[in-house]
Amino acid sequence: ISHEIRTPLNAIIGMSQIARRSADEPDKVRSSIDEVITASTHLLGLLNNVLDMSKIEADKFEISPEPFDFEKMLRRVREVIQVKADEKGQTLDFSCLGSFSHDMIADELRLSQVLINLLGNAVKFTPDGGTVSLAVRETPLGANTSTLHVAVRDNGIGISLGQQERLFKTFEQADGGITRKFGGTGLGLAISQKIVNLMGSVIRAESEPGIGSCFAFDVKVGWAEKIREDVPQGTPSDSLPNWEGKSLLLAEDIEINREIVTAMLEGTGLSIDNAQDGLEAVEMFREHGGRYDLILMDVQMPRMDGITATKQIRSSGVAGARGVPILAMTANAFKEDVRNCLGAGMNGHIAKPVDVDELMETLAHYLG
């Protein structure tokens, strides 16, 4: 796997150096930066897989079912996969969309991870112009539960019988040449299988070389009444929001992270005060309290972490202390971490690495 990690890192370092030397050639700068984004996104996916795998190996991998909007999740999954399918001129069939009017009780993050992995593989191992489809059906079991039948099909290169047996093993790829041709680590299916196992089922693979593959599983899920949408879905626009006169306290110990957030928010008129750790954030809040419209709070910081700082701000008695929105900004995006943040009195969280659109959308929700 060291080779797998070094390859995108080489691209990131190399392309950054090229961008730096090409200041007077804007096209070259832009294309190098596109490569940096692609390579680092790939690296992030890889690291997430390696971390998941080590959680699985340490027996710390858990599933936490909660109610969520299943249709919305399917649409998000489609968005992610559509980009890849478009690149290969493939048809993506999501005709299952539109048939789920109830919320589902399951582990949303993990279930979408499985779908994205299976669909991503289907796109990857299907030639240009092929077809990839997701079928989801449900059979009611009782009043509030049903079995969800999920199948991902493609008309791609397929997998030979001998190779099918090894598919779900860690680091296994159908044949050694595949990594060089298609990339990947051979971790995705092992992780997906583990997730589906924890949901009480197994992923079955059927495939014929040259014809295509189908990966399917059935899981028991709970159903809940639809939670009313109270966050209006802002249509993403290219024009920057105007937050002139609003003020943000950014508690973050790592300078480059402060720089990134500051640069992302440039042009919005938002004034940003920086605190270098939790203790400084609490002190600044005690001093200027009512001035802040929003606090972005890193969780892991020296001297005082974001959880403690949030609790101290909330109980400080300063004007606005109870009402000011506090959002965690953390790389610890596991469910239990999010729960800890909310438990400490935060309003929500933004995952790191920070995505500029997500940041804008979340801030828009709290700043108006």
> Is the CB of residue 120 less than 8 Å from the CB of residue 172?
no
Q: Which of residues 102-121 bind ligand ADP (CB under 6 A)?
A: 117, 121
Binder among 119, 122, 321, 359 for ligand ADP (CB under 6 A): 122
Tell me if 150 sits within 8 A of 191, measured CB to CB. Answer: no
**Alpha helices (runs of H) in the chain, residue ranges in sequence order:** 2-21, 26-57, 70-87, 108-124, 161-164, 177-182, 188-198, 255-264, 278-288, 306-314, 335-343, 356-367
Query: Of 22-61, which residues contact ligand ADP (CB under 6 A)?
Result: none
CB of 177 to ligand ADP, least distance (A): 10
d(CA 306, CA 309): 5
173 binds ligand ADP (CB under 6 A): yes
The CB-of-169 to ligand ADP minimum distance in angstroms stands at: 9
Of the ranges 98-106, 141-149, 187-195, 245-253, which one interacts with ligand ADP (CB under 6 A)? 187-195
Closest approach, Cβ 157 to ligand ADP, in A, equals: 5
8 A C-beta contact, residue 284 and residue 273: yes
Q: State which residue, 77 or 327, has the beta carbon closest to ligand ADP.
A: 77
Binding to ligand ADP (CB under 6 A) within 213-242 occurs at 213
How far, rounded to the nearest angstrom, does the alpha carbon of residue 26 sit from its chain's CA centroid? 31
Stretch of residues binding ligand ADP (CB under 6 A), selected from 9-17, 142-150, 179-187, 259-267: 179-187
Which of these segments, 96-104, 182-190, 244-252, 330-338, binds ligand ADP (CB under 6 A)?
182-190
Q: Residue 275 CB, nearest distance to ligand ADP (Å)?
A: 40
Q: Per CB under 6 A, does 154 bind ligand ADP?
A: yes
Collapsing DSSP states into helix, strand and coil, what is residue 24?
coil
175-187 burial: b if 16+ Cβ within 10 Å, else e: eeebeeeeebbbb
Q: Rounded to the nearest whole angstrom, what is the least distance from the CB of residue 136 to ligand ADP in the complex?
A: 17
Cβ of residue 39: shortest distance to ligand ADP, in angstroms? 16
CA 368 to CA 366: how far, in whole Å? 6
Neighbours of 115 (CB within 10 A): 22
Q: Find the binder of ligand ADP among 8, 184, 241, 278 (CB under 6 A).
A: 184
SS3 (DSSP) at 270: coil
Return the ∠ at Cα 337 (arms to 312 and 327), rounded to 5°: 50
Interface ranges with ligand ADP (CB under 6 A): 117, 121-122, 125, 154, 156-159, 167, 173-174, 178, 184-190, 213
